[in-house]
Amino acid sequence: MSSVARTFGSPQPDRLPAWSRDGAEVASDFSVTPSTGLDPSEAARRRAETGPNRLAEAKPLPSWVMFLRQFASPLLIILIAGSMVSALTGHRVDAVAILAIAIFNAFVTHWQEHKAAQSLAALRRMSAPWACVRRGGRPVEIPAADIVPGDILIVKAGDILAADIRFLVASRVQVNESTLTGESEPVDKQADPIPGEDVALADRSNMGLMSTQVTGGSGEGIVVGTGMDTEVGRIADLMTAAKEPKTPLQLKIGVLSRVLVVAALIVVAIVIGVGVINGMGTSEMLNTAISLSVAAIPEGLPTVVTIVLTLGARNMAASNALARRLSSVETLGSTSVICTDKTGTLTQNQMQVMRCWVAGKRWDVTGEGFYPEGAFVDAAGTAAEIDTEPDLREMLSVSALCNDAQLVEADGRPAILGNPTEGALVVAAAKVGISRQKMLEAKVQILRRFPFDATRKMMSVVMRFPDGRTVLGIKGAPDVLLSRSSHLRIAGETLEMAPAHRDAVEAVIASFASEGLRTLAVAIRDLSAKEPDQGNPEKKLVLLGIYGIMDPPRAEVPGAVAEARRAGIRTVMITGDHAVTARAIAGQIGIRTGTAQTVHKGVELDLMSDENLTSVVRHAAVFARVTPEHKLRIVRALQRNGEVTAMTGDGVNDAPALRAADIGVAMGLSGTQVGKDSAALVLLDDNFATIVTAVREGRRIYDNLLKFIRQELTANVAEVTTILFAFLLMGANPLLPVTPLMILWVNLVSDGLPALTLGFEAAEPDLMSRPPRPRNEDFFAAGMKERILIRGTLVGLLTFYVFRVFLEQGATLDHARTAAFMTLIFAQIWHVFDARTTTTLFRKSPLGNRTLLGAVAASILLSLLATYTGAGHVVLGTASLPLPHLVGTFFLASLPTLLLSGIKEVFGVTWL
């Protein structure tokens, strides 16, 4: 700390550490006034001097090392072995060509992986942390990397501390420092100096350390260390760049590639064995062995899977869904339940007080949005004169004081800084001229604050009035406050709460809630008179009144809920709000709450065993008055039923549920850093509809990956069977129908190119009307295996047949091979039009995917060049085919696809 402090403050070599000095002294060391923070230009100057506030990462491996690593793949080893064998058996052109292809392939794969890594890094940067600092007298949100020593960092529950700070204000701040001190319980923070220079890290209760989590309260402090000049920076080994874990599909593809390599080696052993017994020439035999191994391995598969997933993640980010892991792109496609918060995700979070009940009287509140204009109108239509309504005045005053929100102007319109529920109360009070500012100017003091917490469901402040009274002001969920209230304010008098009063209040709550309004109660307690249980003042309250606050559903949500239902995905609302409000809003957006069994309250969950909950979550549609802790139980119960669960959350306490869910979804705008760090998906617009969009995209990407896998593997099967048919059906001295280089050409160029563009296929029409894909479903399921084997074998048979007929008709070997080569190419091109749909090519316009058409055109052109140019003849061993032969192979090659898809259409054989 001290080195940086010296740069900005007055140098004092023997200065004491920040924790042992008074806050004001530390502020002067860093040349900052806490109430205004640094001047933006001074902050910029310091930023240039200290560099970004980031822990240094280990340098990534140099590019050439990454390139050389490609050569450890089984494919490249086989290709290089093939090239060496070709060289030894005198096929020099083949040897050079295979080696060139191997190097080219390594280069392309390396380049694609590099691009994919860059895209991922860009996505990660989008979720980089932000922090709130005071600069130029105002709180501003800045990227955490731009924090400088001397900044005043404003922190609240849910933040991950972005730098080392010395607390100046700490209101019930608790920090989990387990990553640095090993202490697993959160520790309390305070702002007073701690004497002594040798204070252990864990005992520096007025310091906040970078990368630790604020789990409760709020406060602010001076940044005393950034980047590597922090406690974590000092002890951290250089952080290694986070490595993206492989997705289930990538792992399966990896296994498949290895299985295919082993299978190829076994077939090669058999071929050599049989060849030796039959007295086949060594050169032929080795050539066959190379062809087989090259044919059996789907070269592009692993890379393309990564690329398609990365492209998918990029598309999703463009529609406001930031996938923090590639595997979530995949898992999203099989989501079967979406558990979502209500406020802000399903609703607009544009809170407005519509009704108010105070001292037995109901008021309707007029006005628009956050404009502080409007009135409190009673049943007779008379607007309230605030000076003649002391109860209303008291309720609005307490609401404005027990409040952290601010009414500001943004773009010429009123806007709320802070919590929208509190903002609605600020606006309501402002309509009759009551504001916190005015009260503070009139010498009302706030002595203590107990911030809102979703588990307690209330917030309170201790206030001192100019007349000397000390009063606790409290607002929160009405059922919670009602259960803590012993009295009620009626017509300026404080009456003991009789059962009839309680019933009346409950009726008001129910009537507001049934309109879909959020309800909030306000209560006070006079603390001036000393009473025995002063330790916990949040009871024996005097209830002042109830608000009914409107928070309309987002317009796009009903459509998204309906779309999810058609796609077999259940939407479950999990809210801290009142059950009746929750049910009303659920009804408005189309979440079905037909029976009482579908709405459950948090208190019921407390009484339920895990087994009971497991059966309850089968039909539940709404959970109301839940705490974040319930969310974890709900996720686990759903998972026990085999559901793939997406769960939204924003606060610190939501983190365990977000981590446990298959897809934890955090809020990008209103969520906490801890929430975002725990989630797999971050919604940049906090909108439920975005989750459904992401699911749709996840399904499309998975569909397209399957299409790509089908196209690639069909080519591999076709190539292997072509060679095997020759080997089995041509007697003792079989000839190879296609050379190893021709096979490589098909895999990497003529088939590989169009196959790649399957990633760009638009969504299938039934994409969101079929049930979710079961978790861990094998990609060979649903007829895929049969389709690949049958179609591949038929193409192999046809290719061999063409080769044989040409030979029998007296064609030269090169000529017959070229005819077989073109048959294979054309057959795969016909097949790609079938592979692009889960139905058949007869049902999808061939013009739908422009990129595919371009790739097919390029593939045909390149293959014609390979056939009709001297270079092609030398390298690939092709011969110029007469035009009728070329046209003939084109139409013959359509047979496997047209025949099999025809049968599929006519007889409805789905697996074909």
> Which residues are known catalytic residues?
341
Classify residue 194 as exposed, middle or buried by CB count within 10 Å of its CB (0-12, 13-18, 19+). Answer: middle
What tokens does 142 get? Answer: 């800045």
Residue 518 is a binding residue for ligand ATP (CB under 6 A): yes
Shorter beta-carbon distance to ligand ATP: residue 576 or 664: 576
Shorter beta-carbon distance to ligand ATP: residue 454 or 790: 454
Region from 61-69, 455-463, 506-514, 823-831 binding ligand ATP, contact rule CB under 6 A: 455-463
Q: Which of 293, 295, 286 is nearest to 262 (CA)?
A: 293
- Closest distance to ligand ATP from the beta carbon of 645 (Å): 17
Shorter beta-carbon distance to ligand ATP: residue 67 or 688: 688
**DSSP at 598:** G
Residue 112 three-state SS: helix
From candidates 341, 389, 686, 834, binder to ligand ATP by CB under 6 A: 341
Residue 459 is a binding residue for ligand ATP (CB under 6 A): yes
Shorter beta-carbon distance to ligand ATP: residue 355 or 791: 355
Which of positions 621-650 make contact with ligand ATP (CB under 6 A)? none
- Closest distance to ligand ATP from the beta carbon of 454 (Å): 4
Number of residues that this document lists for the chain: 912
755 contacts 714 by C-beta, under 8 angstroms: no
Q: Which of 660, 575, 650, 658 is nearest to 158 (CA)?
A: 650
Number of residues binding to ligand ATP, judged by CB under 6 A: 21
Query: In sequence order, what are the beta bridge partners of 406?
Result: 417
394 contacts 439 by C-beta, under 8 angstroms: no
Residue 273 burial (CB count, 10 A): 11
- Give the x/- contact pattern for ligand ATP in 406-445, rule: CB under 6 A: -------------x-xx-----------------------
Shorter beta-carbon distance to ligand ATP: residue 476 or 872: 476
From candidates 166, 189, 342, 583, binder to ligand ATP by CB under 6 A: 342
163 contacts 210 by C-beta, under 8 angstroms: yes
- Closest distance to ligand ATP from the beta carbon of 463 (Å): 16
Residue 516 is a binding residue for ligand ATP (CB under 6 A): no
From candidates 577, 604, 686, 697, binder to ligand ATP by CB under 6 A: 577
Region from 259-267, 301-309, 457-465, 600-608 binding ligand ATP, contact rule CB under 6 A: 457-465
232 contacts 55 by C-beta, under 8 angstroms: yes
How many CA atoms lie less than 13 Å away from 313 in the CB half-sphere? 29
- Closest distance to ligand ATP from the beta carbon of 444 (Å): 19
Closest-approach residue to ligand ATP (CB):
576
Q: What angle do CA 653, 654, 659 make, to 5 degrees?
A: 120
Shorter beta-carbon distance to ligand ATP: residue 623 or 833: 623
- Closest distance to ligand ATP from the beta carbon of 457 (Å): 4
Q: Measured between alpha carbons, how far is residue 865 from residues 441, 572, 811 in Å?
A: 86, 59, 21
Q: Which of 616, 653, 649 is nearest to 634 (CA)?
A: 616
Residue 327 is a binding residue for ligand ATP (CB under 6 A): no
Shorter beta-carbon distance to ligand ATP: residue 476 or 516: 476
Q: Measured between alpha carbons, how far is residue 104 from residues 95, 101, 168, 300 in Å?
A: 14, 5, 61, 13
- Closest distance to ligand ATP from the beta carbon of 518 (Å): 5
CA distance 863 to 738: 14
Region from 274-282, 364-372, 452-460, 691-699 binding ligand ATP, contact rule CB under 6 A: 452-460
- Closest distance to ligand ATP from the beta carbon of 665 (Å): 13
Residue 721 is a binding residue for ligand ATP (CB under 6 A): no
Shorter beta-carbon distance to ligand ATP: residue 232 or 584: 584
Residue 576 is a binding residue for ligand ATP (CB under 6 A): yes
- Closest distance to ligand ATP from the beta carbon of 697 (Å): 25
φ/ψ of residue 216, rounded to 5 = -165, 160
Residue 452 is a binding residue for ligand ATP (CB under 6 A): yes
Residue 94 is a binding residue for ligand ATP (CB under 6 A): no
Residue 824 is a binding residue for ligand ATP (CB under 6 A): no
Shorter beta-carbon distance to ligand ATP: residue 312 or 548: 548
Which of positions 472-491 make contact with ligand ATP (CB under 6 A)? 475-477
300 contacts 747 by C-beta, under 8 angstroms: yes
CA distance 308 to 292: 28
598 contacts 622 by C-beta, under 8 angstroms: yes
380 contacts 585 by C-beta, under 8 angstroms: no
From candidates 454, 562, 784, 886, binder to ligand ATP by CB under 6 A: 454
- Closest distance to ligand ATP from the beta carbon of 381 (Å): 29
Residue 803 is a binding residue for ligand ATP (CB under 6 A): no
Residue 135 is a binding residue for ligand ATP (CB under 6 A): no
Residue 400 is a binding residue for ligand ATP (CB under 6 A): no
- Write the CB contacts of 57 (distance below 8 Å, at least 6 apart in sequence): 238, 239, 240, 241
**Taking the CA atoms of the chain, what radius of gyration do you get in angstroms?**
35
Q: What angle do CA 640, 646, 651 make, to 5 degrees?
A: 110
- Write the CB contacts of 544 (distance below 8 Å, at least 6 apart in sequence): 358, 359, 391, 394, 395, 398, 489, 521, 522, 523, 524
Residue 722 is a binding residue for ligand ATP (CB under 6 A): no
Q: Which of 120, 123, 83, 86 is nearest to 103 (CA)?
A: 83
Residue 449 three-state SS: strand
Query: In sequence order, what are the beta bridge partners of 347?
Result: 553
Shorter beta-carbon distance to ligand ATP: residue 140 or 454: 454
- Closest distance to ligand ATP from the beta carbon of 626 (Å): 7
**In the complex, which residues of this chain contact ligand ATP (CB under 6 A)?**
341-343, 419, 421-422, 452, 454, 457-459, 475-477, 518-520, 575-578
